[in-house]
């Protein structure tokens, strides 16, 4: 394995993985960070992400010949730039990313057709072209899930009944405007599952085209947009359903020379069927922020993985927790976050820079001088030899991080623990002693 202290890594990002660049600076000699900013009316808000961070060199032109020629490995932790990854690879560069396999995440019909091809379970679905067709489908049926292809258009949402969804449909017509009857929606039937399972980690295609998973994977539970609890366990110890999904689907990833972060969401029904609902062909948030601290040799793994070598992961501590930071101010205003330097590595902000003597979360747009909704600006993570130890640690950290009109979601850890307990009852062994939710948070 190579010594990467003299290697150069270039990270291509849209703001979600600025903290990853800081993390890689602990191992690589030079870390270049590029956040896409160019259009005919460029904005300073996009230009300054990554500025002023320790060990990180903010670059303005990704295809600067000096950058391209000197970079040892390119890291793409997000999706939508598979074509660029393939281009770099054809130039002979090392790339850590999902390449064109990224389509399995956002091309809903491709994903479903691939599951059928692999003889995997597929949730019954209907494709609706246009909001009018979607409305007719929702008038006729209840309890459905509506998915769109582009993450920026919105999250998957649950249709309970037409009365409750009417305002959402009106909003979609306004959102899409003149192209409202051109947008494709994938409408899926609900799966009556007894439990959900997931895999978070990486997948590396070997030089000979064989799919490889690291010796350690990450088993976790999330309360969406609030918190996450993670356990690093041997890959072979994952639930059977998780291993089966990876085994069946990984060859499709390998066809695209996939070498990057990888995650799955699976529902297991009472009759034992496994429904692979969503592929995550990128660094997921959470729990990648935990993984950044949990894996001591993350940079080395990325460098070797980009060459097709799946080296063992060195785990600092087996348990990690992540508590999200929310701000009703930050969506349309600059948000200063005060963080003691000794715990700086455990505070993972999104789309930020260091300016005016402090860490600054950059607003999506400055459209109002008052609070404009609520936004997740980052998270606080902690590790431990037990779940309880990690939670105690994160509680201490939460008390030390401050921002105007900012709150952490520490209380949600109780619900996360309850979900782990429910999973254990249904046969998903978390491989750990689970603290009592009531006592662990109130202590």
Q: What is the pLDDT of residue 368?
A: 67
Q: What is the pLDDT of residue 378?
A: 97
Q: What is the pLDDT of residue 427?
A: 86
Q: Is 73 in contact with 24 (CB distance < 8 Å)?
A: no
Return d(Cα 332, Cα 348) in angstroms, integer.
20
pTM of the model: 0.95
Which residue has tokens 């490889």? 212
CA nearest to 228, candidates 396, 384, 411, 416? 416
Return d(Cα 347, Cα 350) in angstroms, integer.
10
CA nearest to 407, candidates 323, 289, 284? 323
Cis peptide leading into 287, omega within 30 of 0?
yes
CA nearest to 139, candidates 157, 158, 165? 165
Domain 124-189, CATH homologous superfamily name and number: ATP-grasp fold, A domain (3.30.1490.20)
Q: What is the pLDDT of residue 61?
A: 97
Interior CA angle at 279 toward 319 and 380, to 5°?
A: 35
| Burial per residue of 226-260, b for 16 or more beta-carbon CB atoms within 10 angstroms, e otherwise | bbbbbbbbebeebbebbbebbeebbebbbebbbbb
CA nearest to 310, candidates 246, 216, 386, 218? 216
Which residues pair with residue 388 across a beta bridge? none
Q: What is the pLDDT of residue 369?
A: 65
Helix H, strand E, coil C: the string for the chain is CCCHHHCEEEEEECCCCHHHHHHHCCCCCEEEEEECCCCCCCCHHHHCCCCCCCCEEECCCCCCHHHHHHCCEEEECCCCCHHHHHHHHHCCCEEEECHHHHHHHHCHHHHHHHHHHCCCECCCEEEEECHHHHHHHHHHCCCEEEECCCHHHCCCEEECCHHHHHHHHHHHHHHHHHHCCCCEEEEEECCCEEEEEEEEEEEEECCCCCEECCCEEEEEEEECCCEEEEEEEEHHHCCHHHHHHHHHHHHHHHCCCCEEEEEEEEEEECCCCEEEEEEECCCCCCCHHHHHHHECCHHHHHHHHCCCCCCCCCECCCEEEEEEEEECCCCCCCEEEECCHHHHHHEEECCEEEECCEEEECCCCCCCCCCCCCEEEEEEEEEECCHHHHHHHHHHHHCCCEECCEEECHHHHHHHHHHHHHHHHCCCCCCCCCCCHHHHHHC
Cis peptide leading into 431, omega within 30 of 0?
no
Instruction: Print pLDDT tens along the chain (443 aa).
Output: 678 999 999 999 999 999 999 999 999 999 999 999 999 999 999 999 999 999 999 999 999 999 999 999 999 999 999 999 999 999 999 999 999 999 999 999 999 999 999 999 998 999 999 999 999 999 999 999 999 999 889 989 999 999 999 999 999 999 999 999 999 999 999 998 878 899 999 999 999 999 999 999 999 999 999 999 999 999 999 999 999 999 999 999 999 999 999 999 999 998 889 999 999 999 999 999 999 999 999 999 999 999 999 999 999 999 999 999 999 889 889 999 999 999 999 999 999 999 999 999 999 888 766 666 668 999 999 999 999 999 999 999 999 999 999 999 999 999 999 999 998 988 889 999 999 998 776 65
């Amino acid at each position: 394995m190579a010594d990467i202290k003299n290697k150069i890594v270039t990270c291509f990002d849209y703001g979600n993985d600025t903290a990853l660049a800081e993390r890689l600076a602990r191992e690589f000699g030079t870390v270049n960070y590029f956040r896409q900013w160019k259009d005919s009316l460029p904005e300073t808000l996009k230009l300054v992400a990554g500025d002023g961070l320790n060990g990180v060199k903010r670059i303005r032109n990704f295809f600067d010949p000096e950058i391209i020629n000197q970079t040892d490995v390119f890291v793409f932790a997000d999706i939508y730039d598979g074509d660029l990854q393939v281009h770099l690879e054809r130039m002979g560069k090392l790339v850590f990313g999902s390449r064109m396999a990224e389509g399995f995440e956002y091309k809903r019909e491709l994903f479903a057709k691939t599951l059928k091809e692999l003889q995997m379970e597929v949730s019954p679905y209907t494709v609706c072209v246009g909001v009018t067709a979607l409305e007719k489908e929702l008038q006729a049926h209840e309890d459905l899930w509506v998915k769109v292809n582009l993450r920026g258009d919105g999250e998957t949402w649950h249709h309970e009944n037409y009365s409750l969804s009417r305002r959402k449909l009106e909003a979609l017509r306004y959102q899409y405007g003149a192209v409202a009857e051109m947008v494709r929606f994938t409408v899926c039937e609900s799966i009556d599952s007894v439990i959900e399972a997931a895999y978070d980690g990486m997948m590396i295609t070997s030089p000979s085209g064989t799919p490889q998973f690291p010796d350690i994977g990450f088993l976790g539970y999330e309360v969406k947009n609030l918190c996450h609890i993670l356990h690093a366990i041997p890959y072979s110890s994952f639930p059977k359903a998780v291993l089966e999904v990876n085994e069946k689907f990984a060859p499709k990833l390998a066809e695209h020379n996939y070498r990057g972060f990888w995650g799955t969401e699976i529902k297991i029904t009472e009759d034992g069927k496994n429904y692979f609902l969503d592929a995550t062909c990128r660094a997921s948030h959470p729990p990648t922020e935990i993984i950044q601290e949990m894996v001591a040799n993350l940079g080395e793994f990325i460098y070797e993985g980009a060459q097709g070598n799946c080296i063992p992961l060195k785990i600092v501590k087996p348990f990690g927790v992540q508590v999200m930071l929310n701000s009703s101010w930050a969506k349309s205003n600059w948000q200063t976050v005060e963080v003691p330097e000794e715990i700086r590595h455990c505070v993972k902000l999104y789309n930020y820079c260091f300016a005016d003597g402090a860490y600054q979360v950059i607003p999506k747009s400055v459209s109002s001088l008052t609070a404009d909704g609520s936004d997740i600006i980052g998270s606080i993570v902690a590790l431990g030899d037990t779940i309880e130890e990690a939670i105690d640690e994160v509680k201490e950290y939460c008390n030390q991080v401050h921002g105007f009109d900012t709150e952490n979601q520490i209380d949600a850890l109780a619900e996360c623990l309850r979900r782990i307990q429910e999973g254990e009852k249904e046969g998903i062994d978390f491989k750990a002693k689970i603290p009592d939710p009531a006592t662990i948070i109130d202590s």
